[in-house]
Structure 1
Amino acid sequence: MKLYADRVPVALRQLITDLLVVVWVYLWIRVALWIHDVVEKLAVPGRKLESAGSGIADNLADAGGKVGRVPIVGDELTAPFTGAADAARSLADAGQQQQDFVGQLALILPAVAVGVPLALVLFMWLPMRVRWIRRAGIAAAVRNDPAGQDLLALRALASQPLTKLAKLGPDIAQSWRSGDAAAVSALAALELRELGLHNR
């Protein structure tokens, strides 16, 4: 398995690209964590609202209990305190719901923020990199074998642009068909050069 090309410019380009991809992924993970922290701060008002609502509800229920002990009119005086305590509990519930919503948002937004860049890496860069590693590994394994040179020459004839093939001579395909060793070597070298490999 070959991870990097033999030729320095190609290998350097591959190494720089790989490092940029690692930095890209790291930065987006940091952005996702930052988004999570920022969104989590939105839950603070909900926590305060829940705490205040619960405190007010408890105080009103306690006051209603004390007023309820007043002889004759105690039950009538308790009703407003009970209603106010229920309203305060509703505020506390609203604070809790706001916290739940912010908690869900703190999971979804960072996932989206990191998911799109990671998808670009997984579905664009990684397949191209793996394809090159496979092609270069096979080419490096067969480049010293005469039959492998012939396969590389055939690959060059099938995939290289006509302008590059024409530079090797107008009858390069005929020379390859007739088994001309110089033509086979030139075509194999062209294919290896395209992959960034030396013709050993």
Structure 2
Amino acid sequence: MKFYADRVPVALRQLITDILVVLWVYLWIRVAFWIHDMVEKLAVPGQKLEGAGSGIADNLADAGNKVGDVPVVGDDLTEPFTKAADAARAIADAGRQQQEFVDQLALVLPLVAIAVPLALVLFLWLPLRLRWIRRAGVAAAVRDDPAGRDLLALRALAGRPLNELAKLGPDIAQSWRAGDAEAVDALAALELRQLGLRGSRR
């Protein structure tokens, strides 16, 4: 397996690209955490609302219990305190619901923020990088073998632009078909150079 090219300019470009991709992913992870923290701050009013509502409800319930001990009219006096305590509990519930909504938002928004950058890396950059690693690994493994050089030459004939092939001579295809070693080596070197690899040791 070959991760970087043999030729310095290509290898340097690959290394810089890899570093930039890692920094890109790290940056978006940091952004996602920042969004999470900012959204979580929106839960503070809900926490205060819940705390205040629960506190008022408890105080009103205690007051209602004490008033309920008054003989004869105790039950009648308790009813307004009970209703007020129920209203305060409704306020506390609203605060809890607001916190739950904020928690969900704090989970969803960072995921949305990081989904697109990660998708670009996973579906655009990574397949291209893996394809090069696979192709370069195979090419490096076969470049010193005569049959391997012939395969590389065939690959160059099939895939390289005509202007590049024409620079090797007008009869390069015929020379390859005839088994001319120099033509095979020139075509193989062209394919290896396109991958950023050095030529064969032959």
Common fold by TM > 0.5 = yes
| Offset at residue 188 of structure 1 (A) | 0.4
Q: How far apart are the structure 1 equivalents of 2:180 and 2:29? A: 55
Q: How far apart are the structure 1 equivalents of 2:162 and 2:45? A: 68
| Offset at residue 68 of structure 1 (A) | 1.6
Residue in 2 that maps onto 1:163: 163
Residue in 1 that maps onto 2:4: 4
Q: How far apart are the structure 2 equivalents of 1:44 and 1:170? A: 77
| Offset at residue 72 of structure 1 (A) | 2.1
Residue in 2 that maps onto 1:141: 141
Q: How far apart are the structure 1 equivalents of 2:103 and 2:196? A: 50
Q: How far apart are the structure 1 equivalents of 2:170 and 2:91? A: 85
Matches within 5 A, 1:1-200: 1-200=1-200
- Which whole-Å deviations, capped at 9, do the CAs of 1:119-152 have from their partners, x for residues lacking one? 1111111111111011001101111111111000
Give the number of aligned pairs. Answer: 200
| Partner-residue secondary structure (3-state), 1:43 | helix
Range 124-133 or range 112-121, more displaced? 112-121
| Offset at residue 79 of structure 1 (A) | 1.0
Structure 1: 5+ residue runs without aligned partners? none
Q: In structure 1, what residue type is equivalent to 2:102?
A: V
**CA RMSD after TM alignment:** 0.9
Q: How far apart are the structure 2 equivalents of 1:53 and 1:161? A: 75
Structure 2: 5+ residue runs without aligned partners? none
Identical amino acids, percent of aligned pairs: 81
TM-score between both structures, scaled by the size of structure 1: 0.97
| Partner-residue secondary structure (3-state), 2:185 | helix
- The runs of 4+ residues in structure 1 deviating greater than 6 Å are none
Q: How far apart are the structure 1 equivalents of 2:17 and 2:93? A: 51
